[in-house]
Structure 1
Amino acid sequence: MYTSERQLSRLRIAYLKAVLSQEIGAFDTELTSGKVISGISKHMSVIQDAIGEKLGHFTSSCSTFFSGIVIAAICCWEVSLLCLVVVPLILMIGATYTKKMNTISTTKMFFHSEATAMIEQTISHIKTVYAFVGESSAMKSFRENMEKQFQISKGEALVKGVGTGMFQTVSFCSWALIVWVGAVVVTAGRAKGGNIIAAVMSILFGAISITYAAPDMQIFNQAKAAGYEVFQVIQRKPLISNEAQGRKVTEITGDIELRDVYFTYPSRPEKPILQGLSLSIPAGRTVALVGSSGCGKSTVISLVNRFYDPARGEVFIDGHNIKDLDLKFLRSNIGLVSQEPSLFAGTIKDNLKVGKMDADDQEIQKAAEMSNAHTFVSQLPNQYLTEVGQRGVQLSGGQKQRIAIARAILKNPPILLLDEATSALDTESEKLVQEALETAMQGRTVILIAHRLSTVVNADMIAVVENGQVVETGTHQNLLDKSDFYRALYSMQNLEAAPESSTTISKSKSTHQGDSTDEAKLSEKQRETQINPMEDSELKGQETRKRNIFFRIWFGLKPREMAKIAFGSAAAAFSGVSKPVFGYCIITIGVAYFDPDAKRKVGYYSAFFSAIGLLSLLSNTIQHYFYGVVGEKAMANFRHALYKGVLRNEVGWFDRSDNTVGSLTSRIISDTALVKIIIADRMAVIVQCISSILIATGVSMYVDWRMALVAWAVMPCHFIGGLIQAKSAKGFSGDYAASHSELVALASESAANIRTIASFCHEEHVIMKAKTSQEIPMRKYRNESIKYGIVQGFSLCLWNIAHAVALWYTTILVERRQATFKNGIRAYQIFSLTVPSITELYTLIPTVISAINVLTPAFQTLDRKTEIEPDTQDDSQPERILGEVKFEHVKFNYPSRPAVTVLDNFSLQIEAGSKVAFVGPSGAGKSSVLALILRFYDPGAGMVSIDGRDIRGYNLRWLRTQIGLVQQEPLLFNCSIRDNICYGHNGASESEIVEVAREANIHEFVSNLPDGYNTVVGEKGCQLSGGQKQRIAIARTLLKKPAILLLDEATSALDAESERTIVSALKAINLKEDSGLCSRTTQITVAHRLSTVINSDTIIVMDKGKIVEMGSHSTLITTGEGLYSRLFKLQSFDESS
């Protein structure tokens, strides 16, 4: 047991190390997060089961079998010779069975990985799923996958039943032949009856052992398929290796040159990205790349970082081809800040130290101050020790971006790559960070990508990239003079030239902070809710009675499934009956060898054995097929119910540290697999064992009641041993299972953030973290294994004592003539053949108990009562909402950070059809306002209402169909562009899809792809640029035609031309009714680019969870010294140029 855990610990680390050593292109095509999670959880679990207890059991069984053959050969070589005839036949059946099962297992592994990827994708995109009411779509896809697995499992159950039945048939027919040959040998006088009995009994016990080894073969087949998937990754040679094999020069100065570079992404080889791009960047210079989305700017950064190699052309640094340089050395000299910041679960300090693992607190604080992150970090209760949550979920987009910038600054590299590094920052933060970056950029070579030209005007050189080539270069002023393209970009973004909206009467009203209102429909007392994330009701909902879990695993089975269980149980009972009956017959045959008419009597029993063999084929087929089908159905039902239960929980539940993407995915996929194991594998055998024990008791009582009573008198020895084993088995669950969830979460996070890990050469730290996570459970497992081994030995000791007592008492009965030798030995043999069933029963009990312990968290998740019910009944539900939104004295804290107040006594009214924009520094609470409108969270105090009605009174899923959301970080699903646009609106026609794609300025790009709208975007949209993903996300929202449109930095990833097109499209959105009337959509925008909000009816300036200014653009700009006016001036090109 301990050895298997040690081996698996090494294998898990080797697997994770192999994953982290692969080139980035592998994650675009092969190594999805789902596959990584499946590999390190489900596949490893199967392998451990095979090389642990099952391998030991199989080795012991084979040893007993071959020992029996040797002893039989010594006693009577003619009888043992028959085994040479039988064994090849059994091996042939086994080979055919193994081949069939391997094929089925491989196919199931594929669908299993696909299901894992579905769940991982849905949970990691949970806000998008909820916002677009995609739960039913996710459940439908998962249900279809489960149905495919179910159909495959039906074939698997049939093959298993027929295979096992054939094995039993051949075994019984072989016994018929062996005992008949023994009779012939005895009749011919070539051997004595005693020798034949000894030979037959030796073969018997060997055969029993090999029979009990048959289930182990099934586990080995599954492990073989799982091992193939695991070692396929471990043995895969990366196209770009990070092993130390290249040159390490003394110093990197930063001279960069790309010579005639051609490149296509591995996942889309038919779509060229770079087409002969050449660019030379002298050391210490700052070069900015500008151009439309998808033109190849970010690809240049990926090639310099050597995430990919060009198809043609070369990339040089300091005159060295980067292919000749050591990869880790190269990346250690390059700092990267990506458009979508990737943070790791842990503290802010941990994330900053990714840039420099040996950095002290002073260095960390200095880097944070340079990135303008120190201010908000120092205001947190735990400051730099604040947990950011998985993928930084506890921080706003701007806060995450500043942490990422600080991380890159801390690295202090000679080459700095900034891919839209300040796109998520508010104007004031951007100015401060930009100044810090300009200081940090001094003496470094910098490649800067930005759509905001305000961030590139001071670059030493600006390169205009179009269609994969550099078409123009020059300084900002030079390009304004000679480049029509650049001049057009500049004109679009010049705020001083933008038409200012005329002064309008605000359609939005704000009540003063702290004022009371007569319009409140609920008293403050009624509206107050506890900020504490762990409600008493939730605690009650999580109280799962473990004693009932066994009965609950038969989840959702219908009467016809229970009927199948009844038939399967009857077949299993017959299989169990065959054992004591066989024991009775074999001794009768042994006695018959001393009879002169041995050949005739033994011939009768030989025919009887053949009949039992044929019936065993039928019974095993029925047993394994019905139990297998029902077990798969119960597992699928439970998985479906658990997945559905997970998707009913509020967003705050997913923010908790114990509900990471990896742990929840493992809970839904790996833990629920135990349901099938218990039903299909364990229950059938338990029925067999019980049947054997009951029939053996009855037959032995009939043969000799005294011997039967003695057999039952020593039965407590087996009971005691079994109970001790069961108690010892508990040590292998609980904390041990939780520790592997931690490793699964780490692997999932690593696969999702692989670019960040590769860029910062963070692989070794991840491996060390993985090893550390295994240390405590390894020590625990070692101690539990020692105890389990002692208990196992003690149990076997009791088993032998029981045999010795039974055999000794048999001799006493015969000696006292209270029983004949024939009946005494019959009763003993029946007892002997039944003891393995008793032993197996006690072996199964601990595994079932362990499985129930592992399933407990899954049932707690299923039983949990969500704090925000998505399916409340609403009899007064309107046909649509008008779009009036009102906040009344709202106080809000995120459940994961109850000590930090995000919104403080916040009051605001937004009229239906108005256009309202929120601006202000990062972390001011702007995005939290949108989250409350979508009811991702409920306020701690106060009320949010829509159309004068508390949003808690609406059916939540219906309400979300009325609200559209475009997030700051566009999240796409691993399916086609068409499916992503239609997400949450599956009934859309092709013309509607094309129409919204045109409005989002993405249609032309999609039409030029080889597969058009059928192009798969890859995991998290990895096949598309940031701007392309954002435009698809916008098209998805436009198709929804919402009454309320929420735009959270919707255009931050777009180039200027696309942004202007999108802004124009958003202005024209109307909600059309069947009556032909139109009402304006309420648009609520969060933006840092003021060019996107100047035409709003009302602009709300927020700071520290409160409204500090409010009015139209023209009104706010005339105040002179307000926060909005200051932000506006910071973005004015007239000042910057």
Structure 2
Amino acid sequence: MDWKLSHEKLISNPNSAYASLVHLQEEASMQCHSSVSPTLGCPLRQYSGGLSDTRTSCGASFCSEKDSLCHAGADTVEPMIRPKPVSLKRVYAMLGPDWIYGVVGTISAFVAGALLPLFALGMAQSLVAYYMDWHTTCQEIRKISILFCCGAVISIFAYAIMHLCFGIMGERLALRVREMMFSAILRNEIGWFDDLNNTSPMLTGRLQSDATLLQTITVDRTTTLLHNVGLVVTSFIIAFILNWRITLVVIATYPLLISGHISEKLFMQGFGGNLSKAYLKANMLAGEAVSNIRTVAAFSAEEKILHLYARELVEPSTRSFLRGQIAGIFYGVCQFFIFSSYALALWYGSVLMGREISGFKSIMKSFFVLITTAIAMGETLAMAPDILKGDQMAASVFELLDRKTQVNGDAGEELKNVEGKIELRGVQFSYPSRPDILIFKDFDLRVCSGKSMALVGQSGSGKSSALALILRFYDPTAGKVMIDGGFLWVLCYLLHETKHQH
């Protein structure tokens, strides 16, 4: 090549190496600054020393590093797509094979829930018995003690059977969900695994956590709900039979009572809240200082690091103090609601006794039964936020199960004889994880049956990408990948059938 020629004369020959290099550089620059549409195409020049049956790709390796820098920001700010909500009917339909355990567990949950109001009724009856004469008191207390012992034995069997049945249902549900998720993962195309959200550690973590969480929000939620249903129904029946007037007054204050007990339970768990994000900067600073302790010691920067660390702790300390004050105020408000409800019920009971409408016995029994029920409901419903927040995770499970692979190898015509002639015709391809980086454009390749062909090129020139297309790890954006003149999915079907036969 005469290097004394001008740029115009060197580029005038479209088949020259100089023109090919300039053309590749221009395309690399265009790809870095704008997205390449699959419909746009420019015919590649045949490379003068290449294989006779092969045309080169667009040279993605010349711009791979620049493109990764250009698009790094776009990959990191990609919005998180929320999965579609899943109906409860579909979630609970997965428990269908173990319905017998559900029936037995439901009956046990109702019995276990009914024991607490009966316990409160016994306590109220024992309190009333102490105001009777000594002989009657001894008889009543003896009777109540025997009933308490019987209730203790029944509660052992009821709670054991309830947790056993629902535990078996939960474990079998988790096993089925893991098997279905693993099968769904294996059905996906190779390009799906290129996504950073679908790496091996992420998927193995989802197999463990998502199935367990689905078990929790399905089985534990059902257990809590059925237990509370038995609790409420039994307590209301007993209270309305004993004294319907005081029952209506206490039920009117139930929203304050239950919300007060729920808030009290939540505030007792910790007033600081989740401050992990607030401590994130301080933790990162400490981690960097420890990992680079030699550099810190070499520059005598210990005092500076301590000053920076203390400054990062100011904001979490302030937020924790404010949350503590707010939690204390609301805790006091919750206590006010609870004791005000007690006061209203007892005051109204005194009014009924003063007018001789109701007696002390019926009022105290109804009051104890309803108040004990409210406390129990508040403690169990305090766990509701932890159970309900798993709905989105359950939706992600079904999103994985419902996903249809973009490469379907289960359809096609069975070939009796395969010669093995492979041909790539006008292939255009870019990886699904990097759709803006074009790997092949108008790429042609023909490999005859029984012949060996070497794909030669620098690192990143597309050698492994060509093999991935032949193995049908990916489908081309445009063009055809054929074997013996037919589309590649015929080969995939043949391999699929052969694998199952062996």
TM-score, normalising length: structure 2: 0.68
Q: Does 1:891 align with 2:434?
A: no
Q: Which residue of 2 aligns with 1:852?
A: 391
**Contact (CA 8 Å) 1:717, 1:798: kept in 2 or not?**
yes
| 2:132 maps to which of 583, 595, 602 | 595
Aligned pairs for 1:239-638 within 5 A: 510=53, 544-546=83-85, 548=87, 550-554=88-92, 556-559=94-97, 561-596=98-133, 597-638=136-177
Do residues 805 (structure 1) and 348 (structure 2) align?
no
Alignment partners' CA distance in 1, 2:96 and 2:347: 51
* DSSP 3-state at the match of 1:672: helix
Percentage of pairs with the same residue = 27
Q: Distance in 2 between matches of 1:931 and 1:725?
A: 60
Counterparts in 2 of 1:724 and 1:619: CA distance versus 1, 3 Å: closer
Match of 1:1130 in 2: none
| C-alpha separation in 1, matches of 2:100 and 2:320 | 44
Aligned residue for 2:244?
Answer: 705
What SS does the corresponding residue of 1:546 show, helix, strand or coil? coil
CA contact (8 A) 2:86 2:395 kept: no
Equivalent residues in 2 for 1:747-766, closer than 5 Å: none
Residue 873 in structure 1 maps to residue 411 in structure 2: yes
**Structure 2: how far apart are the matches of 1:725 and 1:882?**
76
**Does structure 1 residue 861 correspond to structure 2 residue 400?**
yes
1:454-498 superposed Cα distances (whole Å, 9 cap, x missing partner): xxxxxxxxxxxxxxxxxxxxxxxxxxxxxxxxxxxxxxxxxxxxx
Deviation at 1:863, TM superposition (A): 2.8
Asked if structure 2 preserves the Cα contact closer than 8 Å seen for 1:890 and 1:905, the reply is yes
Q: Which residue of 2 aligns with 1:1019?
A: none
Is 1:839 aligned with 2:378?
Answer: yes
> Distance between the aligned counterparts of 1:381 and 1:793, measured in 2?
65
Cα distance change, pair 720–599 in 1 and its aligned pair in 2 (3 A): closer
Output one character per residue of 1:390-422: Cα deviation in whole Å (capped at 9) or x when no partner. xxxxxxxxxxxxxxxxxxxxxxxxxxxxxxxxx
| Equivalent position to 1:935, from 455, 463, 472 | 472
**Is residue 513–residue 906 contact of structure 1 (8 Å, CA) maintained in 2?**
yes
Q: Distance in 2 between matches of 1:832 and 1:600?
A: 27
Q: Which runs of 5+ in 2 are unaligned?
A: 1-23, 33-50, 58-80, 284-290, 296-308
**Per-residue Cα deviation, 1:871-922 (whole angstroms, up to 9, x for no partner):** x334x32356432211110001112222221111111222222212111111
Q: Deviations over 1:171-208 (max 9, x none)?
A: xxxxxxxxxxxxxxxxxxxxxxxxxxxxxxxxxxxxxx
SS in 2 for 1:917: coil
1:716 counterpart = 2:259:
no
Aligned to 1:676: 215
Equivalence for 1:901: 438
Question: Is 1:642–2:181 an aligned residue pair?
Answer: yes
Cross-structure match for 1:1013? none
Once the two structures are superposed, residues 234-258 of structure 1 have per-residue CA deviations (whole angstroms, 9 ceiling, x without a partner) of xxxxxxxxxxxxxxxxxxxxxxxxx
Q: 1:823 aligns with which of 362, 365, 386?
A: 362
Deviation at 1:828?
0.4
Residues 851 and 582 of structure 1: CA distance in aligned 2, closer, same or farther (over 3 Å): same
Query: 2 CA distance for matches of 1:727 and 1:607?
Result: 37
Letter in 2 for 1:557: L
Describe the superposition over 1:281-306 as per-residue Cα deviations: whole angstroms up to 9, x where unpaired: xxxxxxxxxxxxxxxxxxxxxxxxxx
Candidates 168, 185, 205, aligned match of 1:666:
205
d(CA) in 1 for partners of 2:343 and 2:31? Answer: 67
Could you tell me how far 1:652 is from its partner in structure 2? 1.8
- Provide Cα deviations, 1:529-572, integer angstroms capped at 9, x if missing partner: xxxxxxxxxxxxx8744252x4444463344x112111101101
* Structure 2 residue corresponding to 1:926, chosen from 453, 458, 463: 463
Within a 5 Å distance, the mapping from 1:203-214 to structure 2 comes to: none
User: Alpha carbons of 1:900 and 1:714: their partners in 2 closer, same or farther (altered >3 Å)?
Assistant: same
Q: Extract unaligned runs of 5+ from structure 1.
A: 1-374, 384-507, 515-541, 744-756, 762-770, 963-983, 988-1137
CA distance in 2, matches of 1:620, 1:572: 7
Of 886-895 and 588-597, more deviation after overlay is shown by 588-597
Give the counterpart letter for 1:867 in structure 2.
Q
- Return the offset for 1:797: 4.5
Give the match for residue 260 of structure 1.
none
> Residues 572, 660 of structure 1: CA spacing in aligned structure 2 closer, same or farther, 3 A cutoff?
same
Tell me, yes or no, if the aligned pair for 1:932 and 1:944 is still in contact at 8 Å. Answer: yes
- Structure with greater strand share of residues: 1
Equivalent residue, structure 1, for 2:495: 959
**Distance change (3 Å), C-alpha of 1:669 and 1:925:** same
Determine which structure has greater relative contact order: mean sequence separation of CA pairs < 8 Å that are 6+ residues apart, divided by chain length. Answer: 2
Q: Report the CA distance between 1:610 and its aligned residue.
A: 1.6
Q: Give the Cα–Cα distance (whole angstroms) in 2 for the partners of residues 941 and 791 of structure 1.
A: 63
Q: Deviations over 1:819-857 (max 9, x none)?
A: 111111111000111012220342132122112234343
Aligned residue identity for 1:807: L
Match of 1:201 in 2: none
Aligned to 1:351: none
- Whether 1:655 aligns to 2:194 is yes
Q: What is the CA-CA distance between 1:680 and the residue it aligns to?
A: 4.3
* CA-atom RMSD in angstroms: 4.5
Shift in alpha-carbon separation, 1:660–1:826, aligned structure 2, 3 A: same
Residue 961 (structure 1) shift: 8.2
Q: Please tell me the residue identity of whatever aligns with 1:686.
A: L
1:753-792 C-alpha deviation (Å, 9 max, x unpaired):
xxxx9xxx9xxxxxxxxx9xxx9xx99x979977888766
- How far has the Cα of 1:575 moved from its partner? 0.7
How far did residue 630 of structure 1 move?
0.3
TM (norm. structure 1) is 0.32
Rounded to whole Å, the distance in 1 between the matches of 2:92 and 2:376 is: 24
SS at match of 2:187: coil
Deviations 1:320-356 (A, max 9, x none): xxxxxxxxxxxxxxxxxxxxxxxxxxxxxxxxxxxxx
Equivalent residues of 2:246, 2:349 under 8 A apart: yes
Amino acid at match of 1:938: D
Structure-2 change in CA distance of 1:823 and 1:829 (3 Å): same
Quickly say closer, same or farther: Cα 1:859–1:703, change in 2 above 3 A.
same
CA distance in 2, matches of 1:639, 1:788: 40
- Report the CA distance shift for 1:682/1:556 in structure 2 as closer, same or farther (over 3 A): closer
Structure richer in helix, relative to its length: 2
Say how many residue pairs are matched.
403
